[in-house]
Amino acid sequence: MKSIMCVTMKPKKLGIIGGFFLVFGFCVIAFPPFFKSQLKKRVTLKPNSTIRKFWSHFPFPLDFKVYLFNVTNPAEISAGKKPIIQEVGPFFYDEYIHKINLVDREEDDSVEYSTRSTWFFNPSLSSPLTGEEELVIPHLFIVSMVKLIFKYQPKAVGVLNYYSLW
Query: What per-residue confidence (pLDDT) applies to 166?
Result: 46
> With contact defined as beta carbons under 8 Å apart, do 142 and 165 qualify?
yes
Q: With H, G, I as helix, E, B as strand and everything else as coil, classify residue 153.
A: coil
Query: What per-residue confidence (pLDDT) applies to 161?
Result: 57
In percent, the amount of the chain with pLDDT more than 70 equals 89
> With contact defined as beta carbons under 8 Å apart, do 87 and 101 qualify?
no
**CA–CA gap between residue 67 and residue 139 (Å, rounded):** 16
What average pLDDT does range 131-142 have in this prediction? 85
What average pLDDT does range 31-35 have in this prediction? 81
pTM over 0.95: no
What average pLDDT does range 34-40 have in this prediction? 79
What average pLDDT does range 146-155 have in this prediction? 82
Q: Using CA atoms in the order 128, 130, 135, 140, what is the torsion angle rounded to 10 degrees?
A: 100
Q: With H, G, I as helix, E, B as strand and everything else as coil, classify residue 142.
A: helix
- Tell me the residue ranges of DSSP E strands in the chain: 62-71, 85-105, 110-121
> With contact defined as beta carbons under 8 Å apart, do 119 and 100 qualify?
no
Q: Bridge-partner residues for 70, per DSSP? A: 86
